Chain A
Amino acid sequence: MSQNQNRSGDNNLKYAVDIVLCVDTTASMARMLANVKQSAMSFPNRLAQEMAAKGRGISSLRLKVIGFRDYADCAEDAMVVSPFLRVPDDLDSFEKTVNALHAGGGGDEPESALEALALAIGSDWETGLDRRRHVIVMFTDASAHRLGDPRHTSAATYPQSVPGSLEELYAQWGSGQSHSARMENPAKRLLMFAPESYPWTDIADDWNNTIYFPSVAGEGLEEWEMDQIIATIANSL
């Protein structure tokens, strides 16, 4: 047999990618949200192009959106959570989900971003395919409320699955050999576009598999272009 024919064991492993977009939908995020909406339809294709340019194929791509505001301000509309939407089959649903997000409310800082992060961590991540990537992307221009505050947890709409402290949430994220983790250590990534305030700097320093793009507090996220964000997500995979 010629050596050119003997390639069957070569792998071409592809990536099964789940991405949860956690989007702050309070009033101050209006411009960023418009940017996200504008890019939503092209996001899967652009991500696939970035991956292809790196020589990496995607065998499965699922997207999920969590829009969050503030349980302290208005518990009724503090959280909107979509299921995982498979691309390209559910692209229309993804577009509708993103377009339904609107900026408003939230009161003053901080916001309920840690609750959104907790719900993202608890997602029904893909478990069956090779080379899984479970990516959470956080977009916010604010600090976050501390978990466990009874003024928030007493709300009827407050998710019961959210842990009572940042330490418990960290345990769910997990460290290298952690047994309490809900995330698969080799697969997980957390990308944060957030100001240098609680808890984002702590998470960037202490949690593994994180990438943090600090924004200047009070100046929003406009400095991060969507092309750069998509390239960063692809590069983190």
Chain B
Amino acid sequence: MDVEPSRTVQGARVWDHTAPGFVALSVWTERIAGRGEDADPLIVVHWPTARGLIAVFDGVGGAGRASAGSTPVGQERTQAWVAARRLRGLVEEWFVDGPSVDALHDKVVTRLAADITVRSRMRGRIHREFPSTLAALAFTMRPDGVRWDVVWAGDSRCYVVEPDRGLQQLSLDDVDGSDALDLLLQDPPMTNMVSVDREFALNRWRGQAPAPCVLVTATDGFFGYVSTPAQFEHVLLDTLWFARDPAHWGELLAERVAAYTGDDASLAVVALGFKGFGNLRASFGERRNLLRHEHDEPLRAAADRGEDAVRTARSDSWRKYRGGYEQRLAMVVGEDDR
């Protein structure tokens, strides 16, 4: 189901919703007007069961640039563009219909490219038909916290952010290698993503955290063009710090990401267990200051001293940041019962 954005700013779209103990926000931007291959971020909640889902979808243009056809007004759409949007619909339907990840996999296999007969002659290990990433976080709100099932394919990511522990990655990119700073610098090709012409895996992992906390899903346009992994958290919390309300936070995020990204970028956020937006902002004030002093300011100072200094500052930042950022990845095989 499509929902009208609450704000549209220079082509970016922002949605927000607030309820007691609940703040939801999503942001969508495109690098080239009219050609954005990310689908709109998805946020759905079923209040009677206290279940919800946030998800993002990045149509992979590098793997699926072939045309899937044209719109009624003659605008050509790539397979990647179509795949991300159809996948969004299938994930929303999956949330409503039933919880089995296998059922979602079956839906995607049978329906992602249904009724589209266009096929490219292009082949090779990079190429895919109707390729898209998926990063989805299905959650259940409880009085003492939140439990989640993370489902992903590709290099879009799921995170949890806790006021005292900061940003923690919950999904492992489907690429060769796992060092987040290396991945940032190398941008390697994906080894797995949703598509219709070959087998793909929907990775899954279950975890939980005490309330209050923030759940995040994002495409690589948000986290893949910053200097260090810490910088993405700084972008999230620094914009939160200056925001008047959820929609304004979304506006600031859209403005900030447009200034640094080289890709389409989308993000979905739910903040659970905070006593309103002011409490959410205040809860992360100390963490934002830490990021600013220990990571952002040293990088800024290094930028004036040349590339070698920037590399050293990046490595220093990652060395200090990595333990907290990866603390839940050590348990990615199995269940995080924290």
A residues in contact (CB < 8 Å) with B = 2-4, 6-13, 53-57, 130-132, 176-177, 185-187, 189-190, 192, 204-205, 207-214, 231-232, 235-236
Contact = CB atoms under 8 A, between A and B. Distances in A.
B61 interface: yes
B256 interface: yes
Contacts of B124: 190, 192, 204, 210-212
Contacts of A4: 255
B31 A9 contact: no
Nearest to A213: B122
A55 B185 contact: no
Contacts of B45: none
A235 B234 contact: no
Given A10-B226, A131-B187, 9 more contacts: A3-B256, A8-B296, A9-B227, A11-B184, A55-B262, A186-B176, A186-B187, A210-B125, A211-B122
B300 interface: yes
A179 B325 CA distance: 29
8 contacts: A4-B255, A7-B259, A8-B300, A11-B226, A13-B262, A54-B262, A56-B262, A210-B125
B261 interface: yes
Nearest to A5: B300
Interface stretch (B14-22, B86-94, B102-110, B235-243): B235-243
Contacts of A209: 125-126, 189
Interface residues of B, number: 46
B319 interface: no
B191 A176 contact: yes
Contact of B185 (A131, A210, A236): A131
Contact of B238 (A6, A54, A235): A6
Given A189-B126, A204-B123, A3 B61 contact: no
Q: Which of B187, B226, B260 has the most C-beta atoms of chain A within 10 angstroms of its own C-beta?
A: B187
Contacts of B61: 235
B293 to A, nearest CB: 12
B171 interface: no
A186 B242 CA distance: 37
Given A54-B31, A210-B124, A235-B62, A11 B260 contact: yes
Contact of B296 (A9, A57, A185): A9
Contacts of B177: 185-186
Contacts of B147: none
Contacts of A6: 238, 292, 296
Interface string B244-270: 000000001001100111110000000
B127 interface: yes
A192 B299 CA distance: 41
B329 interface: no
B295 interface: yes
Nearest to A15: B187
Nearest to A188: B189
A235 B61 CA distance: 8
Interface in B138-194: 175-177, 184-189, 191
B299 A9 contact: yes
A94 to B, nearest CB: 26
B140 to A, nearest CB: 34
A4 B255 CA distance: 9
Given A9-B227, A10-B259, A3 B242 contact: yes
Contacts of A3: 238-239, 241-242, 252, 256
A209 B125 CA distance: 6
Interface in B101-132: 121-127
B135 to A, nearest CB: 21
B126 A236 contact: yes
Contacts of A7: 256, 259-260
Given A53-B32, A213-B121, A235-B61, A9 B126 contact: no
B155 to A, nearest CB: 12
A13 B31 contact: no
Contacts of B123: 204-205, 211-212, 214
A5 B107 CA distance: 46
B225 interface: yes
A44 B262 CA distance: 20
B62 to A, nearest CB: 5
Interface string B294-306: 0110011001000
B26 interface: no
Contacts of A186: 175-177, 186-189
B195 interface: no
B228 interface: yes
Interface string B215-237: 00000000001111001001000
A185 B188 contact: yes
B121 A214 contact: yes
Contacts of A212: 122-124, 127
Q: Which of A9, A53, A132 has the most C-beta atoms of chain B within 10 angstroms of its own C-beta?
A: A9
A215 to B, nearest CB: 9
B225 A11 contact: yes
